[in-house]
Amino acid sequence: MKFEPGEWDPNRNDPLFKPPFKSRAKIMSAEDYAERPRVGFEEEFDSLRDAMVTLTWLDGNDCDKIYGAYIELMSKQSSVTSHEYVMRVLAQKFKLTAQRVAAICELAHREDQQRKAGKKIYYDAQDYVDKRAREHIEKAYSEYGETAPEQFVEDPMGVTGIVDLEATSGSTVAVEDMLDVDSLMKAVLIREQADARLKIDGHIYREDVDEKLHNVKLSKETQKLMETKKSYHATDDLSERRGELKPMPGDEQPRRSRWKYAAHTVNTRDAKKNKKSIWRKNREIAKDILVEQDGDLRVATVSEVKATSWKPVRNFQEFTYTSLKAAWLERTLRGETGGWGRQEAPEPPAEEVAELEASDGEESESDEQGDDAESEDEVSEEVSEKESNEEEPAAEDGESAKADGDDKKE
């Protein structure tokens, strides 16, 4: 895929650090935002545009689309794969940063593993949060009379207020009137585009390799040290017991695993001669590291070195999808199934299904009995009301007849 340059990182090492800002929500330019007055009579911005704020929300459906695209791309890769390259492709497609795409894929992978373990995932809570967040964004933009963005968008680099120092240095240079400023600006833009294209095309991506299978490099002194140890071990093995001290057959117990020791051999003379910069020293994997375990001396693997204090500086993007990349390597190298990709929840045991069906049947029967009882009560109440209505007129007739008899006596 041919990557299009975006916004540079603060150190100007990566032209794909952030995608170009594209949204229907309008914001102030980075230059105007950096040149705004620092002192005023108001403490708040007049609008979201003046504050260079873009309220957006990345909902669950968008995250699911990104994870689905990741699975599709990885499934189409050949024997040599690179998670770093795939993350950049997805970042270009969805207009996100590669770091954010890596975090989304890692969280979706862990969610699949939770679903496989039979744990409940609250999708209804996610839908509720997505709905409320969208309502809040629409309400906030309507209060200022501005247009809300349609989808999630990354904040531009200028939102921090840091721009090119040459543009905000305040220094002036005297130039002649015949100087063509427009042509110079055009030349600068062409040069920046060429530099960005050179950085993008010349970037070397990290291949997906199992660090447990790759050993660190050894110098001649360290290799000689290992050969010396092997020669001593072959001639005089002090760990062997004498025959009379060995346990009887059948009394032998399994031996516990011993501690794993790691040693770093350093040639101080060469270190003083070949001084490396701190930046290079912190980013390269240390060499001449040996590991001893259960009496076996061997070369340390890259994975073991990264678990010690001699590990290189952490690559944040690689560290973000650690478990995702490890699951992919287990699937491709060792044929493990169920550790990578979409996973379905296990079916509940037959006993639990029978119990649920029985409980549902009991609840329905109790509901029907309750309805029947309520209908019988209603019928009895109607009958009692009719009887009372019929008795009341008879009583009135008796009272009137008694009154007539009294009148006749009088």
Position 27: which residue type?
A: I
* pLDDT tens-digit readout, 352-362: 667 767 776 66
Q: What is the DSSP-derived secondary structure letter of residue 156?
A: P
Q: Which own/partner contact pairs does 85-90 have at CB distance under 8 Å and 24+ positions apart? A: 85/205, 87/317, 87/321, 88/3, 88/16, 89/1, 90/66
Contact 59/127 with Cβ under 8 angstroms? no
The answer to whether the pTM exceeds 0.85 is no
* Percent of the chain whose pLDDT exceeds 90: 46
> Does the structure show a pLDDT above 70 at 5?
yes
pLDDT value at residue 243: 54
* Assigned token pair, 165: 């120092």
Average pLDDT score over residue span 182-203: 92
Q: What is the DSSP-derived secondary structure letter of residue 245?
A: G
Torsion of CA 68, 73, 77, 83, to 10 degrees: -90
> Does the structure show a pLDDT above 50 at 294?
yes
> Does the structure show a pLDDT above 60 at 26?
yes
Phi, psi of 144 (to 5 degrees): -95, 0
Q: Cβ of 343: how many Cβ atoms within 10 Å?
A: 16
The contacts of residue 322 (CB under 8 Å, 6+ apart) are: 106
* pLDDT tens-digit readout, 363-392: 666 665 655 555 555 555 655 555 555 555
Average pLDDT score over residue span 263-275: 84
